[in-house]
Amino acid sequence: MSVQTLYTAATGMDAMETKLDVIANNLANVNTTGFKRGRANFEDLFYRNEVLPGAEDQAGGLTATGTAIGLGTLVSSVQTDFEQGAFLETGNPLDVAIVGQGFFQVQDTDGTTVYTRAGNFSINANGQLVMGSAGVGRLVQGGDITFPQGAQQLSISPEGRVQYMIAGNNVPQDAGQLELTTFINPEGLEKLGQNLFRETLASGSPQNANPGQDGTGFLRSGMLEASNVNPVRELIELITTQRSFELNSQAVQAGDQILQLVANLRRY
């Protein structure tokens, strides 16, 4: 049975390697705005049932337990932890953090709507509110929020009202209304990279509302939501994962030593 030991322990090593990849990604994004950490989940594999529970024994009775030999483990999923991240004060009125649930709506390059928790916004040459990226100027809410030439004293209220001032006019002008989107199962969103998520069948349909309504959070202008990765927790997970990998490798070595002993029996 030591041959099976090799394969069973190999599944454990493979699963720990996947978990290590998840931890490495979490640590790599410890300073990524709005990043949500991932968590690897495991499940045991198929069992070889040599005796089923409740089988008839030699005396005609029923056995209380069976004999089932497990065949290893498998990564069942990598869940996203949407716990609120800390807040970093920037003083930039176009930096917006979400306090509570919700995502900003962003128009992707192909015209589809994607979602983000990163509120580091900027203004493009057309006066439209966009994600603050040097590569792609994705429009926030499809370009609904615009500022005219000469707009100053920009502000975003906790309820998402975007305003600005014009020189010589003391009355604030409306540039648009920021909305937030919620999902019944945010863990079902597809991760696209670049702080973006996409709707899937698992996430459910998007529900749009103004900040503070229908369960959405409020906005805090002049701040950004930091990554919710806790480096101390990730380092502890890193140590336990490394030790688990080593234990599985030792099981492989033990199985190999037994096979070597069997192969050398005729020498004795």
User: What is the overall mean pLDDT for the chain?
Assistant: 91
pLDDT category at 268 given cuts 50, 70, 90 is low
pLDDT at 156: 94
CA 47 to chain centre: 31
Instruction: Determine whether 103 is exposed, middle or buried from the number of CB atoms within 10 Å of its CB (0-12, 13-18, 19+).
Output: buried
SS3 call for 263? helix
- Block residue for tokens 């696209």: 192
- Answer whether residue 1 shows pLDDT above 60: no
d(C-alpha 208, C-alpha 30), whole Å: 29
> How confident is the model over 135-154, as pLDDT tens digits?
788 999 987 899 998 888 99
- Answer whether residue 55 shows pLDDT above 90: no
pLDDT at 267: 65
Record the pTM.
Answer: 0.87
> How confident is the model over 187-219, as pLDDT tens digits?
999 999 999 999 999 999 999 999 999 889 999
- Answer whether residue 240 shows pLDDT above 70: yes
User: In the chain, which ranges are E strands?
Assistant: 38-44, 47-51, 67-70, 73-80, 87-89, 96-99, 104-107, 113-116, 121-123, 129-131, 139-140, 152-156, 161-166, 169-177, 180-182, 190-193, 196-198, 207-209, 218-221, 223-225
Q: What is the mean pLDDT of residues 260-264?
A: 82
